[in-house]
Structure 1
Amino acid sequence: MIALLPLLLSTPALAAQPRPPSLTPRFDDGLALTPQMGWNTYNQYNCFPNESIVRENAQALIDTGLADLGYKYVTIDCGWGVDERLPDGTLTWNPETFPSGFPAIGEWLHGLGLLFGVYGDSGILLCGSPPNSTGNLYYEDIDAKTFAEWGADSLKYDNCYSDAATNYPNVNYAPSTSPEPRFANMSSYLQTLDRPILFQVCEWGIDFPALWAPAIGHSWRIGNDITPHWRSIFRTLNQAVPQTDFAGPGQWPDLDMLLVGLDGVLTVPEEQTHFSMWGILKSPLTIGAKIPGMRGSSLETLRNEDVIGFNQDGMGVSAALKRRYTDEGYEVWSGPLEGGRVVAAVVNWRGERREITLDLPDVGVQFAGGLKNVWRGESVEGVKTSYTAVVEAHGVLLVELGETVDAGVYPGDIFATTTGDTTTFSNIYGITSSTNYTLNITLSEPATRSTNISITTSSSKRSIPVSLPAGSLSISTRISLTATSNNTITIHNAPPITSITLTPPSPTYYTGTSSFTLTSPAKAYTCPSLCTPAGSKIIDLSTSSSATATITSSSSGSKYLEIDYINNEVAFDTAWNWGSNSRNLTIRVNGGEPVRLEVPLSGRHSELFSEGLGWWDSGRLGVLTGGWKEGVNEVVLGNEVLGGSSSWAPDVVGVAVFD
């Protein structure tokens, strides 16, 4: 156990909670080195596909140029089969809906330069039964060979009618045993074939497949089916948050098929947001709408070469959630790309068109020599600290940043102006209001003599004297900044300066179970393992309970906090309606207005079979809170302003205060 006193951390601002790597090796057969792309019958035609539907959409992939952009896999989803096997025990297709037969369809697709995707199920029936279509359970060896003989290039493998112990229900979100062995069994037979077949694990994220699916397949569905509603985007992204670091060549978290192009489902900006986020999170890009006759704006979205390029980038690193500005209605994701580039996305959750500012330090960048605003088709040079643009209602600000400088580094030739012996650095970012920033000044050449310089900032006009010894090339001091991207630092009587570097104050950590006083039903819980970094957490915070701490601050203003939270309230049954995979936390300082933070899932273990059921896995998100004063402050955690997610707040491990 840690000490009862606040724990000092050296964690830099915006650092992610340390996470273990994937616990299993990936299935390495050379397939899916980038996320697979293609088209699937389900979203448009449900479990009622037929041969003419497949042929016309496959041809449309060619005619629209989508195939040339990488959309190659053409998958026939549920509804293709019959309820009885052939006398020799093999599968067959419905001859009324697929009169040419699957081998002929596969051959035709290959003739177009496309790939043939088939669909199976780890249960006794396919999803969508009745009318019944036989599944693959107990026939995996025969069926794997059959798929290969048909010329299949991929297998989407589902999870219906699969739990023998509960008499094979259609859907079971709490099965008696893990689905893993059934999926591993089919994988083992696929691996014996001479024909490589991409294997898509589709067990709906029930047993946290990120931990085991990479060893047996190439992608795994992270959650329940996407539904044809805008609200599905938020729910799916919340489930993706703790899984992004499992993505990599040959192993891709699958956020499910695209809604882009489905009539009457999403607006144009919503489609752009949806496609952008699936792209940068390295999800497989599978079109689910009818391609012939698709509206032009949807086709243009699907053909956006920047987003496709982000998705197919050779690094194979997914974007991750960096900041969630819940009260302001937007959030920031980003990730690295080849060539030292960075992709960043700002999602506008509000149903209004407005200006939104991306603070580059939120994505680890201080300066970008070039910025491309993807959906507005605009490019800007020399972006310092922040970038503001108009974002449509439910739209996304998607940017590619190049020639970047790391956050906290301010080259003089970019950020400074010099008049006489006075140099002023502008566009200085402060993540928190504090007098404890460390400023390091790097000179262009060693000081030729001892010099006394002075420093002032826009947040404190008090002059800070600093002695610069002869021969010095750099010098450090402590300065004051406010929580804004427009601070200035003025240095008087200094030799020429190459750059300055700013480091935020080290946070003080307040453990939830030892630093906060709880009101019922909230209570302290000691975790047998995990619950990092404290090994304990506050549970049962709700609309009727709270946790209060007294925290001493060295200065007034707005303070940046990082919350270590735990949430594994996975939306399975509620996914069809308003389940969001999130919980609401409020932070109230000195009786002021509460600041709200809607936290995503943090669980990285099975919510059914693991020790702790995923409720010992902590995530970390930052939030800016106002109303702080110098001296003693009262900080109250709770769920005062219900955001529509849950009456329960997340469990809280602790709070890091950057003072």
Structure 2
Amino acid sequence: GWNSWDCFGTTLTESQAKAQADAMARILKPHGWNYFTVDIQWYEPDARGHFYKEGAPLAMDAHSRLVPAETKFPSAKAGRGFKPLADYIHGKGLKFGIHIMRGIPRQAVRENTPLMGTTARAADIADRSSVCTWNPDMYGVDMRKPGAQAYYDSLFAMYAAWGVDLVKVDDIARPYDATQRAEIEAIRRAIDKTGRPIVLSLSPGDTPIERGDHVNRHANMWRISDDFWDRWEPLYGMFDRLDRWTEFRKPGAWPDADMLPFGIVEFNRPTRFTRDEQTLCMTLWSIARSPLILGADMTRLDAFTVDLLTNDEVLAVNRRSTGGRQVSRSNDSIVWTADIPGSQDKYVALFNVRSEKPTYDLSKALYRSPVVRGAERVDVSVPLRASRSLTLMVEDGGDGFDFDHAAWLEPTIAGPKGTRKLTAMEWKRASAGWGSVGIHRGADGQPLVFEGKKIEGLGTHSISVIEYELPEGYDRFSAKGVLTPGSAGKGSVRFSVLTEEARLLPSKDRRVSVKLADLGFSGRVRARDLWKKKDLGVSQEGFGQDVDPHGAGLYRLSPVP
């Protein structure tokens, strides 16, 4: 399907939604793309960008339920809600979805407004200690309180009456605490009570793997990472995430690797992914059967993106394969396979995740911090040993990269020629695992703040690499390494300082192969390249192809009698 977040953030309007739906019905629907979802803050009349305003007035009905803001969705007037827009979407042959935040509006709690189906009021069921760390709209619901289930029942009865086919519930899958778990169960009961087949999607990630048995009994899809954007580092990390969730993948219950940031995203920005990286992403999502949810502006899809999204042989892997699993991983060559129901054939994906850019041997780092959490900081002062390059790396702290907003504060180089601020020098390369590297700003674009004051520095997010060429006359690097407010006290990172001594030359090996016996074949196989729609001939004992770095191939192997 499609979701509005990547391209429109909080700002989608009715006219924009209809234009996107028209394009989706024309271009993607013939190939099975059918869920159209309006993401966050459709109820906030003045929402802007990808950020939120605390205390903003929200559109709400007399029963404490958020409704579409009429300034954005004029057809919602007179209590019609999303019904007119849903009818338009359905008229295109598509399904209609919405995003919600779990809980009850703080606005309703402040005003102590009534609830439908119960004498309890909003303040009676609110859990004011259960709040989202990044969005100010809601309080959690204490499901032990009388009226709590009635509130959720009324909410989903309204969505069903609108004609909603999918609900993405946010701030509920992480950390998956007792309050969130109880709300998940309440939402499942409320959906079932409507009698409408509403898909339940849970966000954000990463959902704790130890909650796998619970989540795949109550939800249809659940996020396994924080927001996924078009950066190589989080794409590389998705292999481990999807592999870990293999045992919990089953029909109707899917680990969700998040949206596909292809085409035009963030209002008017082309994807940062290369064509090879987009093909790799689509291949991994397909064979791991992650939901395929596009984030692009569908009115501006180019020919490459259309071809990527409408290859029916590839889409069949995502829709109909079973038992998707990683077969092998060695030297950044990765092989996945999946079964084909009713056939002895198998799908095989070959991935080359080697990088053409330099990588680093961290055992040769000049400095590598302990894991930094919360308000901890590290003071870094490192001799550079007459080096001609400087690399600043921020790794995750071993628990994934969620919330890993970090900064190098007041970074300088010093030596016989004096002191220079790195923030005044041009870097050679800079990457962040989320957002972008900022000068005096965090990866989220917010000013860097330390101990309550704005401060100079380089803001980023793990996994991050910032490289500089060093001028002569400077032999020491100094900075403070901290987590920034965007981490909400939950991130954990390690700061490393490296020079050319730790740099590893990229591998030039492009061959990715697998033994046929490891796939369950005992004889020869005939191969078909699904991306190129081309038959490749017969292989014996093993199957392999040359795959470019950051690239992938997807194949169907058939036993030869």
1:460 maps to what in 2? none
Partners of 1:147 and 1:135 lie apart in 2 by: 20
Q: CA deviation at 1:219?
A: 1.5
| Equivalent in the alignment of 1:476 | none
Mapped to 1, the partners of 2:135 and 2:215 lie a distance apart of 30
> Does the 8 Å contact 1:367/1:382 carry over to 2?
no
One-letter code aligned to 1:74: F
CA contact (8 A) 1:279 1:308 kept: yes
Distance in 1, Cα, partners of 2:62 & 2:93: 34
Q: 1:91 aligns with which of 46, 66, 71?
A: 66
Q: Match of 1:300, as an amino acid?
A: D
Alpha carbons of 1:156 and 1:45: their partners in 2 closer, same or farther (altered >3 Å)? same
Q: Kindly indicate whether residue 304 of structure 2 is the aligned counterpart of residue 297 of structure 1.
A: yes
SS in 1 for 2:74: coil
Q: Say whether residues 1:320 and 2:322 are aligned partners.
A: no
**Counterpart in the other structure of 1:221:** 223
Correspondence 1:245-256 to 2 at 5 A: 245-256=247-258
Contact 1:351 1:393 in 2 (8 A): yes
The residue number in structure 1 matching 2:152 is 140
Distance 1:324 1:175 in 2: 31
1:330 to 320, 326, 333: 333
Q: 1-side partners of 2:222 and 2:29: how far apart?
A: 23
Q: 1:79 to 1:129 in 2, by over 3 A?
A: farther
Cα deviation for residue 404 of structure 1 reads: 5.9
Deviation at 1:43, TM superposition (A): 1.4
TM-score, reference length from structure 2: 0.59
Q: Deviations over 1:121-174 (max 9, x none)?
A: 2234599999965578453122111111111011111116xxxxxxxxxxx955
Contact 1:178 1:207 in 2 (8 A): no
2-structure distance, mates of 1:366, 1:397: 23
Alignment of 1:419-430 (within 5 A): none
Task: Specify the alignment match of 2:29 in structure 1.
Answer: 67
Q: Check the 8 A contact 1:179/1:207 in 2, yes or no.
A: no
Match of 1:198 in 2: 199
Count of matched residue positions in the alignment of Structure 1 and Structure 2: 352
Q: SS at 1:396's partner residue? A: strand
> What is the aligned partner in structure 2 of residue 80 from structure 1?
42
Q: Name 1:109's counterpart in structure 2.
A: 89
Is 1:120 matched with 2:121? no
Q: Give the whole-Å Cα distance in 1 for the aligned partners of 2:158 and 2:66.
A: 7
Q: Distance in 1 between matches of 2:352 and 2:242?
A: 18
Tell which structure's C-alpha radius of gyration is larger: 1
Provide the rounded CA distance (Å) in 2 between the counterparts of 1:322 and 1:130: 38
SS state at 1:287 partner:
coil
In structure 2, the gaps of 5 or more residues are 45-57, 77-81, 107-130, 142-147, 265-269, 357-507
Q: Match of 1:286, SS?
A: coil
For residues 376-397 of structure 1, the C-alpha deviation after alignment (integer angstroms, 9 at most, x for no partner) is 3331232112234332231102
| Long gaps (5+) in structure 1 | 1-37, 161-171, 406-659
Q: Is the 8 A contact 1:341 1:401 kept in 2?
A: yes
* Alignment-derived partner of residue 455 in structure 1: none
Q: Using a 3 Å threshold, how does the CA distance of structure 1 residues 274 and 387 change in structure 2: closer, same or farther?
A: same
Superposed CA offset, 1:571-609 (max 9, x none): xxxxxxxxxxxxxxxxxxxxxxxxxxxxxxxxxxxxxxx
Q: CA, structure 1 residues 53+368, in 2 after alignment: closer, same or farther (shift >3 Å)?
A: farther
Aligned counterparts of 2:517 and 2:231: Cα–Cα separation in 1: 33
Distance 1:349 1:73, change over 3 A: same
Q: Distance in 2 between matches of 1:111 and 1:346?
A: 40
Answer with 79-88 or 127-136: which moved more: 127-136
1:363 corresponds in structure 2 to 519
| Partner of residue 283 from structure 1, selected from 281, 290, 303 | 290
- Residue 356 (structure 2) pairs with residue 349 (structure 1): no
Distance 1:188 1:100, change over 3 A: same
Q: Could you tell me how far 1:365 is from its partner in structure 2?
A: 2.9
- 5 Å-filtered alignment, 1:391-430, equals 391-403=547-559
Residue identity in the other structure for 2:189:
S
**Residue 156 (structure 1) aligned with residue 165 (structure 2):** no
Preserved CA contact (<8 Å) 2:260 2:295: yes
CA distance in 1, matches of 2:301, 2:232: 19
What is the CA-CA distance between 1:354 and the residue it aligns to? 5.6
Residues of 1 paired with 2:556 and 2:67: CA distance? 48
Report the equivalent of 2:390. Answer: none
1:192 match: secondary structure? helix
User: How many angstroms apart in 2 are the aligned matches of 1:404 and 1:202?
Assistant: 44
Measure how far apart 1:367 and its partner are: 3.7
Using a 3 Å threshold, how does the CA distance of structure 1 residues 100 and 134 change in structure 2: closer, same or farther? Answer: farther
Kindly tell me: are residues 173 and 188 of structure 1, through their superposed partners in 2, closer, same or farther at Cα, counting changes over 3 Å? closer
Give the whole-Å Cα distance in 1 for the aligned partners of 2:556 and 2:168: 33
Q: CA deviation at 1:308?
A: 0.7
> In structure 2, what is the Cα distance between the partners aligned to 1:109 and 1:135?
31
Q: Aligned-pair distance for 1:214?
A: 2.2
Alpha-carbon contact 1:374-1:399 (below 8 Å) kept? yes
Measured on the aligned residues, the alpha-carbon RMSD in Å equals 2.6
1:525 equivalent in structure 2: none
Aligned position for 2:180: 179
User: For 1:465-490, what per-residue CA distance to the aligned partner results, in whole angstroms no more than 9, with x for missing partners?
Assistant: xxxxxxxxxxxxxxxxxxxxxxxxxx
SS in 1 for 2:322: coil
Match of 1:242 among 234, 244, 253: 244
| Aligned equivalent of 1:340 | 344
Is the CA contact 1:260–1:298 (under 8 Å) kept in the aligned structure 2? yes
User: Aligned partners of 1:130 and 1:384: how far apart in 2?
Assistant: 54
Q: Which amino acid in 1 is paired with 2:208?
A: D
**For the Cα contact (< 8 Å) 1:125–1:135, is it kept in 2?**
yes
Q: CA deviation at 1:213?
A: 1.6
Instruction: Identify the range of structure 1 (379-388 vs 336-345) with the bigger mean alpha-carbon deviation.
Output: 379-388
The alpha carbon displacement at 1:269 in A equals 1.1
Residues 41 and 224 (structure 1 numbering): CA distance in 2 closer, same or farther, change over 3 Å?
same
Aligned 8 A contact 1:81 1:134 in 2: no
Distance apart, 1:85 and its partner CA: 2.2
Aligned position for 2:538:
382
Alpha-carbon contact 1:257-1:287 (below 8 Å) kept: yes
Q: Aligned ranges for residues 491-570 of structure 1 at < 5 Å? A: none
Give secondary structure in 1 for the equivalent of 2:299: coil
CA-to-partner distance for each residue in 1:44-89, whole Å, 9 max, x for gaps? 122222212211111111221x112111110001020142522233
Read off the aligned partner of 1:98 and give its amino acid letter.
F
Question: Residue deviations 1:382-436, cap 9 Å, x none?
Answer: 211223433223110211111268xxxxxxxxxxxxxxxxxxxxxxxxxxxxxxx
C-alpha spacing 1:178/1:237, structure 2 compared with 1 (3 Å): farther
CA contact (8 A) 1:245 1:318 kept: no
C-alpha distance in structure 1 between counterparts of 2:339 and 2:176, whole Å = 38
Distance, in Å, in 1 between the alignment partners of 2:535 and 2:197 is 42
Q: How many angstroms does 1:225 deviate by?
A: 1.9
TM-superposition CA deviations, 1:203-235 (whole Å, max 9, x none): 523433421122222122123221221222121
Question: Is the 2:176–2:208 Cα contact (8 Å) retained in structure 1?
Answer: no
Amino acid at match of 1:92: V
Percent of pairs with identical residues: 23
Residue 266 (structure 1) shift: 0.8
| Contact 2:35 2:97 survives alignment (8 Å) | yes
Task: Give the structure-1-normalised TM-score.
Answer: 0.50
Amino acid at match of 2:355: G
Residue in 1 that maps onto 2:497? none
Residue 70 to residue 100, structure 1, CA distance change in 2 (3 Å): same
